[in-house]
Structure 1
Amino acid sequence: MLCSTCRLGPAVTDDGRCLLCAGPAPAPMPPAPAFFAPQQYLRSPEGLAKAVVVLLAVMIGADLLAVAAGLNTRRVLAAGVANDFAAYDEEAANLADDLYGATSWLQSFVGLAIAVVFIIWFRRVRLNAELFDPSVQSMRPGWAVGAWFIPVAGWVLPRRIAGGIWTASAQTSTDGSRRTVPATVMNLWWGAWVCSQILSQFTARRYWAAEQPQEVLDTTALLVATDAVDIVAAVFAILFVRTLTRMQGERAALGVYPPSTPGLAERAPWGRAH
């Protein structure tokens, strides 16, 4: 059979062309650039964990100030409601509003800082978990950031990711057996955080809808309760961050990696790769 193109040489390719018409074989594809390669080294989350803990401690202080300012505001407002504002101390009321407003701004600023640093820490421990044991990770590493910004689902997906990180970070013996670490701290943190978010949104709606003095007084009590729940959530968050960071340090010290990541056991970069 002759070449379908030049009709001179014998056809040797599947499409009926000769070697001359077929041309040289395509060059092999170059290896993928380094920035597309998966993370190959563990990276210590300890520095980020310390920053998160410090910011959470500052938030607890801000919440305590907000509780005190809220109680003061409620006291001044209750005095006015009691006598139908016949002897209302307007100067004390303005001071109470200013103090509560200042604490609210402080809470917002610290809360934003916590959100940024916490998500960076969360992504770091998720990437480490990928090296510890990718088989227990139900979602890809990028979701460690994106899951927090999905309405409603953001109250579920991060906990799912955290569960995979927790399981992979549990200390594993050299014989391959895994130690089960109770997830109580993680569950308390997540439950308190979700309750804090729901209560905060509910209280905000009630606050902006309040018109009558008694409604404002009742809403102020809800604001104080919200700050108190936020304090509890911050305490459990500190325990969660410290516990998971410690677990990853213990897991890294063992140098035991799953068979799906050959060669990583010989590398000991904990705290070296930045």
Structure 2
Amino acid sequence: MLSALIDSPDTADMGAVDANDRLYGMSGLAQTLSYVVTAVLFVLWLLRACSNAEAMLPVPHRRHAAWAVFGWVVPIVHLWYPKQIVDDVWTTSRLGAAGFRGPGHATLHTARRAGLVRAW
């Protein structure tokens, strides 16, 4: 359709071109909407995961749970806070599942980090 419009603009079907433009615009709107919805749901999930991890194993995390939301929108901070939060949640969940309950064992800051989170 685009090549026909470029080759001979006088004979191109402008109704089809307009319909194509509307379809393209609506698909862009649907993509943006799905991106925003996914981002909001992910941030809410991460906030819940932080709360659950802190309840599962009451050890101090590097960042407050509020940073699970603000860490994505604050300039410069967004480069490392979300990874630290996910890292702490992952490690807390793993230590909690392993039965860690007190000092004298590995702490959250000295526990081995997950390679999957590091790759992320």
Q: TM-score under structure 1 normalisation?
A: 0.34
> Which position in structure 2 is the counterpart of 1:183?
115
Structure 1 residue 84 displacement after superposition: 6.2
Structure 2: tracts of 5 or more residues without a match: none
Counting only pairs closer than 5 Å after superposition, residues 82-101 of structure 1 correspond to structure 2 as: 83=7, 85=9, 87-101=11-25
- Distance in 2, matches of 1:149 and 1:163, equals 19
Counting only pairs closer than 5 Å after superposition, residues 111-260 of structure 1 correspond to structure 2 as: 111-131=35-55, 132=57, 134-135=59-60, 137-170=61-94, 172-174=97-99, 182-184=114-116, 186=117, 190=120
> Which position in structure 2 is the counterpart of 1:199?
none
Which letter does structure 2 place at the counterpart of 1:146? F
**Closer, same or farther: CA 102–128 of 1 in aligned 2, 3 Å:** same
Contact preservation (8 Å) 1:147, 1:154: yes
Which letter does structure 1 place at the counterpart of 2:115? A
**Closer, same or farther: CA 138–93 of 1 in aligned 2, 3 Å:** same
Contact preservation (8 Å) 1:170, 1:181: no
**Closer, same or farther: CA 148–87 of 1 in aligned 2, 3 Å:** same
**Closer, same or farther: CA 96–143 of 1 in aligned 2, 3 Å:** same
- Distance in 1, matches of 2:30 and 2:44, equals 22
> Which position in structure 2 is the counterpart of 1:237?
none
RCO higher in 1 or 2 (8 Å CA, sep ≥ 6)?
Answer: 1
Q: TM-score under structure 2 normalisation?
A: 0.68
Structure 1: tracts of 5 or more residues without a match: 1-75, 191-274
Structure 1 residue 97 displacement after superposition: 0.9
Structure 1 residue 99 displacement after superposition: 0.7
Equivalent position SS for 2:62? coil
- Distance in 2, matches of 1:153 and 1:88, equals 51
Q: Is 139-148 or 88-97 further displaced after alignment?
A: 88-97
> Which position in structure 2 is the counterpart of 1:217?
none
Higher Cα Rg, which structure? 1
- Distance in 2, matches of 1:129 and 1:123, equals 10
- Distance in 2, matches of 1:78 and 1:169, equals 56
